[in-house]
């Protein structure tokens, strides 16, 4: 019997990781660099305006370590919107000084594991809509990683009964609740969209809380038995001023 959890979907998500070509940037004429930064700032302003109009949301962070130098995380209504943003950005002079490091395509997802029984249409509930189409937090730090739930013969998440999955997700949710006010999670589903099953994006003003939360969850059955994890990306908030500062040669 098909016991797929019911999912609700909101905005599509694109995590666009880039590396800065520092030798090319430093070798460029000052006017070219100034023009490129103006273009970047124009995009940042445009994305702010889209967020203010509640038509999407964008978060911009540096990435610490060598996997990338920064990430644009965009949430938009359609895949076409996301495609248009990346193509418009790729055509800028600023983008000529970056290389693509990694990307992830997914969609904001909520499941019904912990939902109570009610006849209400969740898509009419403003709290649900606010979670499906969120303004991304502008916390000091971001942590992103993709993950799967195991499909091994002995440990296959997709062959468990709904009741078993519900009880494990309850325990997962309880651990998460212990981080209320410290870590905000945005879970994006990516089955059929990208190489892993979910993108996990965490936001916090204290980077250490990422370690505390992820470590604690490792002892919880749903992560301990079924979690498979991709690469972790962690970084610091960027705005127009700090991005301009970062690009100073
Ligand atoms: C800030 C902490 C936090 C909190 C409060 C929280 C709560 C919840 C709830 C209540 C629910 C279920 C209902 C829904 O909302 O969909 C989920 C769902 C999910 N989670 Fe979660 N999660 C957190 C945090 C959190 C983390 C850190 C991870 C990564 C796991 C780890 O080991 O590294 C994670 C993963 C997920 C996933 C992949 C799903 C979807 C699973 C599926 O099979 O569908 N999550 N999560």
| Cβ atoms 154, 219 nearer than 8 A | no
Residue nearest to atom 46 of ligand 1 (CA): 173
Position 43 scores a pLDDT of: 97
pLDDT value at residue 177: 98
Classify residue 1: in a domain, yes or no: no
List, for residues 68-93, the tens digit of each pLDDT value: 999 999 999 999 999 999 999 999 99
Q: In the prediction, which pLDDT does 1 show?
A: 57
Would residue 12 count as lying in a domain?
A: yes
In a domain, 73, yes or no: yes
CB proximity list for 242: less than 8 A, separation 6 or greater: none
pLDDT in tens, 111-147: 999 987 788 899 999 999 999 999 999 999 999 999 9
* Residue with CA closest to ligand 1 atom 29: 200
Q: Are 149 and 228 in contact (CB under 8 A)?
A: yes
ipTM rounded to 2 decimals: 0.98
Report if residue 149 sits inside a domain: yes
Tell me which residue has its CA closest to atom 15 in ligand 1.
110
- At a CB cut-off of 8 Å and minimum separation 6, what does 142 contact? 59, 61, 71, 73, 201, 202, 203, 233, 234, 235, 236, 237
Domain annotation covers residue 88: yes
Q: What is the pTM of this model?
A: 0.98
Q: What is the CATH number of the domain that holds 94?
A: 3.30.70.1030
Q: What is the pLDDT of residue 67?
A: 98
Residues spanned by the domain of 94: 6-245
| Segments of the chain scoring below 50 in pLDDT | none
Is 131 known as a binding-site position?
Answer: yes
Nearest C-alpha neighbor of 179 from the set 206, 148, 152: 206
Distance (Å, whole) CA 174 – CA 237: 28
Question: Which one of 166, 169, 218 would you pick to mutate in the ligand 1 pocket, going by the greatest count of ligand atoms within 8 A of its CB?
Answer: 169
Q: Would residue 122 count as lying in a domain?
A: yes
Residue 232 placed within a domain: yes
CA-closest residue to ligand 1 atom 3: 176
**Nearest atom of ligand 1 to the alpha carbon of 184:** 1
Cα 170 from chain centroid (whole Å): 23
**Whole-number pLDDT of residue 240:** 97
> Is 102 an active-site residue?
no
Which residues line ligand 1 at a C-beta cut-off of 6 Å? 5, 110-111, 113-114, 147, 149, 169, 172-173, 176-177, 179, 183, 185, 187, 198, 200, 213-214, 217, 223, 227
Q: Which of 61, 102, 104, 145 is catalytic?
A: 145
CB within 8 Å of 40: residues ≥ 6 apart:
92, 94, 243
Rounded to 5 degrees, φ, ψ at 169 are -70, -30
Provide the domain count of the chain.
1
pLDDT at 118: 80
- Write the DSSP assignment of 28-42 as a string of letters: S-HHHHHHHHHHHHH
User: To test the ligand 1 pocket, which listed residue (111, 187, 221) has its Cβ within 8 A of the most ligand atoms?
Assistant: 187
Backbone angles phi, psi at 29, to 5 degrees: -65, 150
In a domain, 131, yes or no: yes
Q: What span, in angstroms and rounded, lies between the C-alpha atoms of 145 and 197?
A: 11
């Amino acid at each position: 019997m098909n016991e797929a959890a019911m999912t609700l979907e909101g905005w599509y998500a694109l995590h666009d990781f880039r590396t800065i070509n520092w030798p090319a940037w430093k070798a460029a004429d000052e006017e070219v660099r100034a023009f490129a930064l103006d273009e970047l700032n124009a995009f940042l302003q445009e994305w702010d305006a889209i967020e203010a109009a509640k038509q999407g949301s964008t978060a911009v962070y540096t990435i610490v370590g060598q996997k990338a130098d920064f990430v644009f995380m965009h949430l938009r209504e359609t895949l076409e919107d996301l495609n248009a943003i990346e193509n418009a950005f790729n055509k800028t002079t600023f983008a000529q000084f970056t290389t693509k490091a990694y990307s992830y395509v997914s969609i904001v997802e909520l499941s019904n594991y912990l939902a109570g029984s009610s006849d209400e249409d969740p898509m009419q509930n403003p709290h649900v809509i606010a979670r499906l189409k969120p303004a991304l937090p502008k916390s000091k730090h971001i942590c992103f990683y993709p993950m799967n739930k195991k499909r091994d013969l002995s440990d296959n998440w997709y062959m468990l009964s709904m009741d078993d999955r519900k009880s494990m997700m309850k325990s997962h949710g309880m651990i998460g609740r212990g981080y209320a006010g410290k870590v905000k999670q945005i879970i994006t589903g990516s089955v059929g969209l990208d190489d892993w099953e979910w993108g996990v994006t965490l936001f916090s003003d204290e980077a250490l809380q990422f370690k505390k939360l992820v470590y604690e969850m490792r002892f919880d059955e749903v992560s301990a038995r079924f979690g498979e994890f991709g690469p972790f990306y962690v970084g610091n908030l960027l705005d127009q001023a700090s991005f301009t500062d970062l690009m100073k040669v």
